[in-house]
Structure 1
Amino acid sequence: MANTQSMHHNGHDSPNPVLTKEDMAILYEKNMERRIIFVHLLTVAILLWWEILAIYHVVWL
């Protein structure tokens, strides 16, 4: 058990654990893309919800 753990650790040990500026930029861009998609979906959902409410309002009145 201990042997496999040490092997696993050695396999994943990188010589330079510090992120470079390029890595940071890529990570930041990915995060921004996710955030934009999330906000977009949220906006679409809210607009759809309001449309459904408006339609119900018109139908019931």
Structure 2
Amino acid sequence: MLLRQEGLPRPIREIAWKAQLRLCRRYRRLTHTGKQANVVTTAIARELAGFIWAIARKAEIAAG
């Protein structure tokens, strides 16, 4: 994973790491409470879309 992130700007790496931590924690919490797998996957996917949007905005700003 570090090799893939090597050439990325620091703000983008920070957002990606924040997403990794939050989404993993949220997935574990939702499955532990007994939510159905489809519901959990959909919730995580929706939140992941928000992180992807944030990364795209940072990349757009960095590109000028």
TM-score by length of 2: 0.44
| Highest RCO, 1 vs 2 (Cα 8 Å, sep ≥ 6) | 2
How does the TM-score come out when normalised to structure 1? 0.46
